[in-house]
Amino acid sequence: MLNLIQRNRKASSVSYDVAMKTHLAGAMLLAILATTPLPSQAQQAPSRGQLLYDAHCIECHTQQMHWRTLKRARDWDTLTLQVRRWQGEAKLAWSDSDVQDVARYLNETIYHFPRAVSLQTP
């Protein structure tokens, strides 16, 4: 009878240990998942406009350049015109798409001008 009682205690001790280890593993998994950013929280890759601006323009054009009183960009069209002008001055030979990408990046991050609606059909 004593052997039976000792075996029952051992069995319940083992199942208690297994339950605790399982519980601990589950808690650790939840902690890891809770601190892992979801894809929507992950930082977005920089846009093409940002990459072009950072590579070619940021040396001369700090944030202060865009906030100065005498800024030449007053709306979407003049912003695009200024991007086109300065890429030409720097002899960058950007495509229309590159100019639009940089203008879009500047507009989204600094200017917030309403964009002109294209009248072209796809």
Q: Say if residue 52 is in the same domain as residue 100.
A: yes
Average pLDDT over residues 111-115: 90
Q: Say if residue 69 is in the same domain as residue 107.
A: yes
The pLDDT confidence band at residue 121, using thresholds 50, 70 and 90, is: very low
The predicted model scores a pTM of 0.59
3-state helix, strand, coil in the chain (%, to 5): 65, 0, 35
Yes or no: say if 48 and 101 are a contact pair by the CB < 8 Å rule: yes
Range of the domain at 77: 48-111
